[in-house]
Structure 1
Amino acid sequence: MVRCTEPLSSSTVHWREESLMLPVQYLHKSSRSRRRGSSFAVLTLSTLAAALSAAAHAQQVGEAKADTEQAKAKQADAKVLEAVVITGTNIRSSNLLSSAPITEVGKEVFEGTGSISIESTLSRIPSITSGLSASSNNTSTGGDAANVGVATVSLRNLGSARTLVLVNGRRWVSGVSANTGYGVDLNSIPAPMIKRVDILTGGQSAIYGSDAIAGVVNIITKTNFNGLELNALASNSADGGAGKKRFDLTYGRNFDGGNAWISVGMSKQMELRSSQRPFSSNALGFADTNNDGILDAMVVRNESAYGDRSALFFGKLKIFGDGSTFNTSQPLLDSHFNRLGTTDWYNQFNHRYLVAPYQPSYIASGLTVNVDEKSKVEFEMNYTKATSSVALEAAPASAVADAFRVAQGGTTGIDVATSPYFAGSSAGAQLLAAMGPNTSLDRVQTYRRMVELGDRTVSNKRETFRTAASFTHDFSDSLSWKSSAVYGTTSELQTNTGDFSIPNFRNALTIEADGKGGYRCASAQARIEGCVPVNPFGTTDSLVGKAGITGISPAAAKYLAIPTGQTGEISQVVVNSVVSGQLPFSISADPVSFAAGVEHRREQAKETPDAFRQQGLSRDLKVSEISGAFSVNEVFGEVEAPITKWLSLSAAARIGHYSTVGTNITHRYGFNAPVLDVLRLRGSWSPRSVRAPNINDLFSNGVTNTAPANTDVCNGVTASSTGNIAVNCRSVPAIANRIATLGSFTLVSSEPNNTRLLLAGSPTLSAEAANTKTLGGVLTPMRGLSLSVDYYDIAIKNGITRLTPDLLVKNCYSAAPNSFDSTCGGILVRDANDGPILNLRSPLINAASIKTQGVDFEVGYVGHGLNVGVFANYLNRYDVVDASGTSTASAGRPLYPKWRITTNASYNVTDQLNLFAQARWRSETKSFLTANNYSDELNNMKAVTYVDLRANYKATESLSFYVGSNNVFNVQPAINVRDPAIGTNTEPGAYDVIGRQYFVGMKFKM
């Protein structure tokens, strides 16, 4: 993007770090012209206000910075030195044009939408989707809870681990929990510091190294402050909740030969509960009301989400502890999501978040010193502290499954016929009537929520510190050298509430008569430690109930409750040195430019959960410690060769040696062809871009989830079933005994849904490789107007993935019987009594391939006080071939719409009043693209348009005010029937879950 300080009608262009873009044909008319990597005039709305006041502002800056012609000359030299830093290349040149398209987002776009988050603004760009966000990362108190408050983005839907985020062209340390993933936390980068964001898509590993398969997001921050700037913002939603606040203050001064500045600020995202919006106030299920096999109506989901009352299930018998009937109906919902009936199933969504709260605060500073006319030193320092929290419903508990772990071979020792928990009770009598001669509680499913311990909460405090320094020296007009060093670290402290000790729960259930008409814990040691009996069965008319033990007393809750949490630290060191300039020969009239350099990078991480979860002694999911590190040394080079006045060719290569995956080579080629004054063609090809496995990929000990119900391939095996799978299944004693007793090994009730899946890394992984292509052109038919079209094609091979649980088990059980291992190499554990799979470990492997193709369109117009930019993406295909060889097409699903279009418009009504508008449109999508049993009305997710408006009034030269509204027409999200984010019923990465919002703000500069 080209910026100038003169009106477009001026024949002389003076280049500086402000405001406006010129169409491509004007680039060839100035010896000082430059490009920031964008090969065409991307006309973002953000540039208009600055453009209209550029000339006056330039004069003010000039008067403040220079009193003599000599000072002005030094300042001009410094500007030239800064101007040649280009996103997408290490070559420093005054007229280099990128062979790949770059979209630029200016700071005014962030201000125009009242944003406090970089992620929420960038995800409006058609090539970007959100990864983690306040609306999608709010569903867990397990290992994933470490990421509450983290925000990431994904280019081309290829994931945050394949999207390289830079700040001022340099790497930023990961902020995602090392045990769960990898990605830069955009909430750790102060939004008020943004000057612009350059988005360069396609394989860029030859330029920037690993992780740039999808492309690069380069965040350029403000520098060279001179004076004081104060900003304030407040926002709220029309329907309540999800309010925002922001305040920041920046002060800087120019001095002889440099500039120094410091900035402080804080922002706050307030919570929005799921219960505060109709579409998310109930957990949704779907029903077939016409009995035609088609799900056509929304209902309250029927799930084993037992609630405040104790529930006892045995076969078809479902009762509460007091003996009353459990209402298992699924009430229909009307079009406004109101219940049309009652149910005793527990509504988890009453306790969940649509938007999780977080509060970042920061301090940042910078220093630039022009050592002499040819040398410059720069320093950056950033420190961000962010707090965040999330809450879920009270922890579920089962005396049989949790306290006594019957599934793993334990026993309750409780007989329903004689136990004081059930003797004489209504619930006990009903159970005995249904159970037959075997009256062990081991056969009963016992459910309740530990409401006495309160909701489960997670509180995170995350601190990010980063410092960077660089030295630049110009040996001559055609040769320069730049070296830089970056150190970054992210540390986290997590504290959780609402969990309980499994051993203590077991002690509190193992009771005896106290000789005084009551009961006590049977273990004398447990009594010394504070053990108090509990009655999780709710049998108020039993012997225990009549003794006054009807639930969990405050003393018992104190004994059961345990604090959980974890600490973690991620660090990164990057050192590089680059020589750039012009070679002493040329092919055409223009010189051949080059860059060559070396880089060293080291990343390491450690994460330590509390002892309870590490040992599996808590109700919450087991979380393991992680520790690992890797380093890479690289050499790289680029060359840009003008062949003729209408063609320039470029090439880049990088060789890196990793301590983990060995040597990897990447290379990239490009061309620029200004075939006419109004038409320029461009293209790039990267036959090999790489993503080396990160610390999470290599060293993660795993996060536990629930495996799909179809995981166990032994389900349905009988004594007469044939084949290796059947033979191997029957070799497991628990399965053989069940077949002998019941005739088949058929999973019943909740058995197929109780397999815990441990998602782990693998130290044997190799690097992913991608072949990427772009081809397009830029047309500038008239002054102020530019149009561009770019086709892209990205193919990833050797992708890091994992086998689906059912395929993992199938591969193991398909082995020849004489070589079969029932533990599958130690990754599978079965119930010793009844045979279902209890635990399954799924390591990462290199097996997937991804193919995505599409076209980007951009249109920009500047003139007559109007600035319009249109950004569009057409997704032709997005196909993933998983480890089993199954290909899945995703183009047309919620996160992969066929079309996304964002239109920005800014208009100066007067010198004081500016109007800003943004419209975002995404085409209709489907939850399922293949045959399914949902009606079209439920499966189809309609196209949506969001409109955002802002008015800015400049009261004085120093003071301006603005007011605006996002989602002006209060468009509600579509329901996603396939895989909604928990607590939302929709896809928050695609749809706005807040509704209409209002914001006001002010800016003061002096």
Structure 2
Amino acid sequence: MRLDQVRALLARITGLFVIVFFGVSLSVAPVHAQDAARSNDAVAADEEDDIEEVTVTGSRLKRDTYTSISPLQVISGQVSREVGLVDPSTILQEAPSASGVQIDLTFGGFVVDNGPGASTVDLRGLGAARTLFLVNGRRLAPSGVEGSPTSPDTNLIPGSLVQQYEVLLDGASSVYGSDALAGVVNVILRKDFDGFEFEAFSNVPASGSSEGGRNQLSASWGYNGDRGFIGIGAEYREIDDMTLADRKWSNQCEKHAEVTTTGEIRTEDLYYSNIFGQRSPGDCKVTALSGYVTELGAPSIGTMLYRQGFSNLGVPNLSDYFAFSTPVDTTGDGFADVSFVDHNLNGNTQFVDIIPDLETTSALAYGEYTFSGEANLTPYFELQYSRRETSGEFFAAQLFPFVNALNPFNPCNPLGAGVDCGLAYDSLLDNPNYAADFAAIQGLTPAQFRDFGIVDLYTGAVGPIPVQPVVHVRGDRGSNSTDVKQYRAVAGIRGDIPFLNFGSFEDFSFDFFVSSSESDGDSRWTGVRGDRLDLALGNYSSTGTPCNNDFGVPVASDTAPGCVPVNMFADSLYANIANNDFATPQERSYLFGERTFKTKYTQDIASFYMNGDLFELPAGEVLFGLGAEYRHDAIDSIPNETAGDGLFFGFSADQGAIGEKDTEEFFAEVEAPLLAGVPAFQELTVNLSTRHTKDEFYGGAWTYSGKLAWRPVESLLLRGTVGTSYRAPNMRENFLAGQTGFNNFTDPCVIPDDAIDPVTGYDPSLDQRSPEVIANCVADPDVDPFTFTNGGIQTYNVEVSSGGALDLSEE
């Protein structure tokens, strides 16, 4: 929408407000002269009729009772604080209907809509982008980091200033507009100020340690008068980080658990002991592994596990544990020489945060004042500043680069520091203990299979072959810090419209406000750069020479400077299962880089609304409301080159988002009590609402809602609803330039384990993948779905790319 169009729209909205305000002013003028002539009896009668009206979430209509025709849950802020719940995220998490994909800080994964450290609300499991979040009935703008944030961050709400949380569990697009498909959360701020208040809150874990503890300090001052109030408050909240090591229930590995039909509880998995010949299978689940090398150049050669000072292959410090369905026991002690259980990351990454460090600072000033006169003109304002800072180590990432066959450190490069791994495996097949175990299972020794012409399992000399090491480096791609600041200003005026009180019309009022919000977020990750690692390993070189790029692969400007050869097979990378490091500080300094993001989101709103009583029915007044709203959203989310091009090893790419759009909405609502106070119909009320939403890119759409409330007796209320909801594509769906993530658990192009014969390899007759899946894999020239295996241990994931578009349809 161009500037002149914006001005025209604002002129239409404010023009309606000016007409109403001018009429209000004319009607107010003679009030002062009339006051002296009015009798005391008339004033007393007015006071009896002066009943405070309220607006209940789910409807914009004012009413004299706190009731709702919509399903509404009200959570008291004061009661929540008294039971030890002080921050909005924790309080809303207690609501049964709020299932949060990111409701608390434990969700620090690769790609989340609002970025790491945010807390958003997801009602009824439909997604945070389909839940509308309001403060005092007015939209709170999204805030966050990375990509394109879609939802407000509840961490930025000062919980000590909240009177109550109203949770609407109904589609409410016809009342509140786009995004309210799943429901609405409306935070009502306090008005009950009386001087200065100071509160200190501390939540000490039962373990007695400070990790995971919460501390909060809040101070507020306010004044309440006959005509208004003013309140000023500030709040500081901190949550100490809590790692897996800090609690008894998390400082152990994730364990097996099986209950037999007789009630026996089994925790030790005997499968690995029986099948793979493992010495100590233990009770820990085998998840991700670290400290092993997979050979990629010979079909019969598999995975070698690191064991310092020992090898059953002749490859220094590397040994096989299972070959051709036979545990590798070259020592003859009845157990496999090495065990992958000893390389299990499960239970060995206790430094990972369950809850990261969090600090929030909030300051809020708001108030209102009602002028004397029949129009009860009441200007009001809200000014808010909030800041959230988080830092934590969210996961232990595996590092598994491809290593060129000619890399000088490659253990399978006989031209460098390694050996011929084909000959090494042949020596294993000839080991007397292994050959005997093999014959016990297969009926013949490997040599007899070859000599009898059945199948030759021997590899022979293969020369240099590529390999893939798998290790964990402390601090690699798991540590993140964020800093998000949000500024919000609201200015408005409301009042009565006395000149509309004619005929059956009465009690009409209006509310006009403008608001402006801006959030600025910074995010920082540290980790190994994949492009630098490839260069340092010689993967860009025809001769495998580290730091040489004779292939001419395009690289970033900061990829080559400072390059040093990197040894991915140094003992320092394998000495521990986790918490390892590169052999030299120079290697770490070169490989580690920063992934940074700057995200700015602005939202401006102008809104006008009026409502009143149309006429009276025997059961009560017919209420009517009419309004219009204009909204301008803009996103400016800029990544550095590392983030935009996905230069971290195995990490998501995020090109950010840049764009803006306008939304115009017009809406109306009417509510009529059809019956009341008669047998079987203590209440029968109908509510109808409609809204037209015009999105800059998608045209217009109508939504409607019809609700019926029937109360046969005072203690029973039956509700029924019919209607439509609407959600225009949000800023993320419009303008996300491009973002990748790893959203699935396996790679469909990898040959399933069930389709691999232990002796002959891939068997197409056992492959249960659908023809469509195989066809899609074949279409990728870099993947062969008939030879691509995962080595029996490592599972791979597919990188999925997503982005915004301007030709999407509304939801």
Would you say same fold, with TM above 0.5? yes
Secondary structure in 2 matching 1:111:
helix
Which of 562, 565, 577 does residue 530 from structure 1 map onto? Answer: 562
Query: 1:96: Cα distance to partner?
Result: 7.1
Q: Which residue of 2 aligns with 1:826?
A: none
Structure 1 residue 346 corresponds to structure 2 residue 345: yes
1:712 partnered with 2:712: no
Q: Is 1:113 aligned to residue 137 of structure 2?
A: no
Alignment of 1:485-500 (within 5 A): 485-497=514-526, 499-500=527-528
Q: Which residue pairs with 1:553 in the alignment?
A: 584
Change (3 A) 1:412 1:613: farther
Shift in Å, 1:137: 1.2
CA–CA separation in structure 1 for the residues paired with 2:48 and 2:307: 77
- Equivalent residue, structure 2, for 1:999: none
Letter in 1 for 2:719: G
How far residue 225 of structure 1 moved from its aligned partner, in angstroms, is 2.5
Shift in CA distance, 675/560, structure 1 to aligned 2, threshold 3 Å:
closer
Distance 1:80 1:274, change over 3 A: farther
CA distance in 1, matches of 2:395, 2:716: 58
* Contact in 2 for aligned 1:202/1:215 (Cα 8 Å): yes
Choose which of 222, 241, 258 in structure 2 pairs with 1:271.
241
- Structure 1: unaligned runs, 5 residues or longer: 1-68, 330-339, 512-518, 541-549, 769-1006
1:437 maps to a residue whose letter is: A
474, 480, 489: which is aligned to 2:496?
474
- Greater strand share, 1 or 2? 1
Q: How does 1:346-495 map to 2 (within 5 A)?
A: 346-347=345-346, 349-373=349-373, 374-392=376-394, 395-400=397-402, 416-422=412-418, 430=424, 436-442=460-466, 444-451=467-474, 456-476=478-498, 478-495=507-524
Amino acid at match of 2:304: L
Query: In the superposition, relative to structure 1, how do residues 198 and 316 fare at CA in structure 2: closer, same or farther (>3 Å)?
Result: closer
In the alignment, is the contact (CA less than 8 A) between 1:145 and 1:458 conserved in 2? Answer: no
Choose the corresponding residue for 1:633, options 659, 664, 679: 664
SS of 2:249's partner is helix
Instruction: State the match for 1:162 in structure 2.
Output: 130
Q: How far, CA to CA, are the matches of 2:86 and 2:727 in structure 1?
A: 31
Q: What SS does the corresponding residue of 1:108 show, helix, strand or coil? A: helix
C-alpha distance in 2 between matches for 1:662 and 1:213: 19
Note the alpha carbon deviations across 1:192-231, whole angstroms, 9 max, x for none.
1101111221111111111222221111001363311111
Task: Name the counterpart of 1:148.
Answer: 116
> Within 1, Cα distance between the matches of 2:120 and 2:408?
46
Equivalent pair of 2:114/2:151 in contact (CA under 8 Å): no
Alignment of 1:87-98 (within 5 A): 87-95=57-65, 97-98=67-68
Q: Secondary structure at the match of 1:155?
A: coil
CA distance in 1, matches of 2:469, 2:392: 28
User: 1:418 corresponds to which letter in structure 2?
Assistant: P
**1:315 matched residue in structure 2:** 302
Tell me, yes or no, if the aligned pair for 2:305 and 2:340 is still in contact at 8 Å.
no
> Do the aligned partners of residues 288 and 438 (structure 1) sit closer, same or farther apart at CA in structure 2, a change above 3 Å counting?
farther
Q: Does 1:594 align with 2:608?
A: no
Alignment match, 1:101: 71
Q: Secondary structure at the match of 2:620?
A: coil
User: How far apart are the structure 2 equivalents of 1:262 and 1:90?
Assistant: 27
Alpha-carbon distance in structure 2 between the residues aligned to 1:278 and 1:694: 43
Structure 1 counterpart of 2:697: 660
Contact conserved, 2:412 with 2:464, CA < 8 A, in 1? Answer: yes
Is structure 2 residue 89 aligned with structure 1 residue 128? Answer: no
Change (3 A) 1:114 1:735: closer
Q: In 2, distance between residues paired with 1:433 and 1:613?
A: 47
CA contact (8 A) 1:375 1:472 kept: yes
Identity of aligned residues (%): 21
1:691 matches 2:757: no
Please give the alpha-carbon distance, in whole angstroms, between the structure 1 residues aligned to 2:698 and 2:535. Answer: 49
Note the C-alpha offset of 1:637: 0.5
Do 1:233 and 1:247's aligned partners in 2 also have CA atoms closer than 8 Å?
yes
Distance change >3 Å, CA 475–CA 181, structure 1 → 2: closer
* Paired AA for residue 381 in structure 2: F
Normalising by the residue count of structure 1, what TM-score does the alignment of the two structures yield? Answer: 0.58
Structure 1 residue 726, shift from structure 2 partner: 6.2
Following the alignment from structure 1 to structure 2, what is the Cα–Cα distance between the partners of residues 192 and 638? 34
1:430 and 1:80 map into 2 onto residues whose CA distance is 95
Kindly provide the amino acid, as one letter, of the partner of residue 414 in structure 2. T
Q: 1:209 aligns with which of 168, 177, 189?
A: 177
Q: For the residues of structure 2 that align with 1:300 and 1:551, how far apart are their CA atoms?
A: 28
Would the aligned equivalents of 2:387 and 2:486 in 1 still touch at CA under 8 Å? Answer: yes
Distance 1:77 1:136 in 2: 53
- Residue 359 of structure 1, CA deviation: 0.8
How do residues 222-301 of structure 1 correspond to structure 2 at under 5 angstroms? 222-223=190-191, 225-239=193-207, 240=209, 241-254=211-224, 257-284=227-254, 286=256, 297=267, 299-301=283-285
Moved more, 156-165 or 313-322: 313-322
SS of structure 1 residue aligned to 2:350: helix
Q: Which has the larger radius of gyration?
A: 2
1:577 is aligned to 608
Q: How far apart are the structure 2 equivalents of 1:412 and 1:236?
A: 54
In the alignment, is the contact (CA less than 8 A) between 1:270 and 1:356 conserved in 2?
yes
Q: Which letter does structure 2 place at the counterpart of 1:689?
A: S
2:520 counterpart letter in structure 1: S
Aligned residue in 2 for 1:702: 739
Asked if structure 2 preserves the Cα contact closer than 8 Å seen for 1:200 and 1:216, the reply is: yes
Q: Aligned pair in 2 of structure 1 residues 436, 618: CA closer, same or farther (>3 Å)?
A: farther
1:715-754 alignment to 2 at 5 Å?
748-749=791-792, 753-754=796-797
Contact 2:286–2:341 (8 Å) recurs in 1: no
Q: How far apart in 2 are the matches of 1:706 and 1:674? A: 48
Does the 8 Å contact 1:640/1:648 carry over to 2? yes
Partner of residue 172, structure 1: 140
| Distance in 2 of aligned mates of 1:289 and 1:681 | 46
Q: Given the superposition, is the C-alpha separation of residues 621 and 441 from structure 1 closer, same or farther in structure 2, using an over 3 Å criterion? A: farther
Correspondence for 1:969? none
Instruction: Indicate the residue corresponding to 2:158 in structure 1.
Output: 190
Decide whether the 8 Å contact of 1:462 with 1:492 is kept in 2.
Answer: yes
1:199 aligns with 2:190: no
Equivalent pair of 2:145/2:482 in contact (CA under 8 Å): no
Quick check: 1:99–1:682 contact (8 Å CA) kept in 2? no
Matched residue, 2:599: 568
- Tell me the distance in 2 between the aligned counterparts of 1:79 and 1:276: 61
CA distance in 2, matches of 1:316, 1:95: 72
Report what 1:506 is aligned to: 534
- Once the two structures are superposed, residues 947-973 of structure 1 have per-residue CA deviations (whole angstroms, 9 ceiling, x without a partner) of xxxxxxxxxxxxxxxxxxxxxxxxxxx
